[in-house]
Every structure is written in C-alpha cells, then in structure tokens.
Amino acid sequence: MFLRTSLKIAASLLALSSPAWATPVHTFAFGQPAAASQATRSIEIVMGDMNFDPKSIQVKAGETVRFVLVNKGQLLHEFNLGDAAMHASHQQEMLQMQQSGMLTPTGMKEMSHDMAGMDHAAMGHGMQHDDRNSVLVEPGKTAELTWTFSKATALEFACNIPGHYQAGMVGKLTVSQ
C-alpha cells in the first residue's frame, strides 16, 4: 500500500512539473520556421479578396523561403502552410475564434473579460492565432513568414478564415527533391 501511494504521489508530482500543461509546440513533418536572414529566396504573394497571386509555388527540399505577404484586399486574410487535413482542422479553430468574437472581418480583437469563461483549451491553442506555420495579414498590411522545407511533398497554402478556403483562397505548394 505504501509503495502504491508513493508511486501515485511521484507520478502526480512528475505530471505537475512537466511542461505538458503549457501551450503545445506544433511540429511539422514538412519543415520548420526560420529566420528571414536564412532565406535563400523571397516570394511575394498578393492576397486579394478570395485569391492568392501566384496560385502555385515550387520550392526544393532543404530550401528556406521568405514569403512576403501583401494583403491588397478589404478583409483579414491568413497565409497558412499545410496539407488539406491540417487546413480542415485549422478551419474549425478559426470558426471558433470567429464565433467567440475574437476574429472579425478585418482583424483580431484581444481577449476580453467577456470571453474569460470560455473553454480556451478546447480551441486548440488558447484563443490565440499562434501557429508557427501561419500568419494573419490585415487589409492594406504586409507580413512575412520564413520557412525551411525539410522534405519533398505536396502542400497547400491557404486562408482558413471561415469561408475563404471554400471560396478559392488556396494555392498549391510543391516541394521537390
């Protein structure tokens, strides 16, 4: 009995001391964020309302690309790297953010006291748009995302703000050897 109780206490202390309760760090099989100074080239992507220009991009495995995102539309847009399944999952998170009032057509609001009672953990990343493979760009603004692609694969870059992906705001990103 003493040993069982001691093991339960030790396990509880270990669980409390581990960083598992912290915001999870997303890892990506297709690469990782990088510093802009590491980029071997830059690609400008213009965001219109419900479109990207260009619509497709070719990169090589091992290449570090600095994406310069120019929002020339009237709405808030997102540039998110991933596969179709990742985008579908992220769209649900973005829908929850919109329904909470945090995501507006032209920007993001800070979390107010009115939202304090919500289950933020259920939203995947604590009511923040902090995915390392993604950036939000307000109308008339420019942002950057620098990424090192680790392996050959077929990806998409997309805007996962509710309805935008479905309206055609998605492009093909091919990573070749």
pLDDT band at 110 (very low <50, low <70, confident <90, very high): low
Please tell me the pTM assigned to this model.
0.77
- Which of 2.40.50.140, 2.60.40.420, 1.20.1050.10, 1.10.357.10 is the CATH number of 33-176? 2.60.40.420
- Residues 106-120 as b/e (b if ≥16 CB within 10 A, e otherwise) read eeeeebeeeeeeeeb
Distance of alpha carbon 14 from alpha carbon 64, whole angstroms: 38
Q: What mean pLDDT value characterizes the chain?
A: 82
pLDDT at 154: 98
Higher confidence at residue 14 or residue 95? 95
Count CA within 13 A, CB hemisphere, residue 16. Answer: 6
Q: How confident is the model at residue 147 (pLDDT cuts 50, 70, 90)?
A: very high
CB 154 within 8 A of CB 110: no
Give the pLDDT confidence of 24-66 residue by residue, as tens digits: 456 799 999 999 999 999 999 999 999 999 999 999 999 999 9
Q: What is the pLDDT, as a whole number, of residue 115?
A: 41
Is the pLDDT at 109 greater than 90? The verdict is: no
Q: Are 146 and 33 in contact (CB under 8 A)?
A: yes
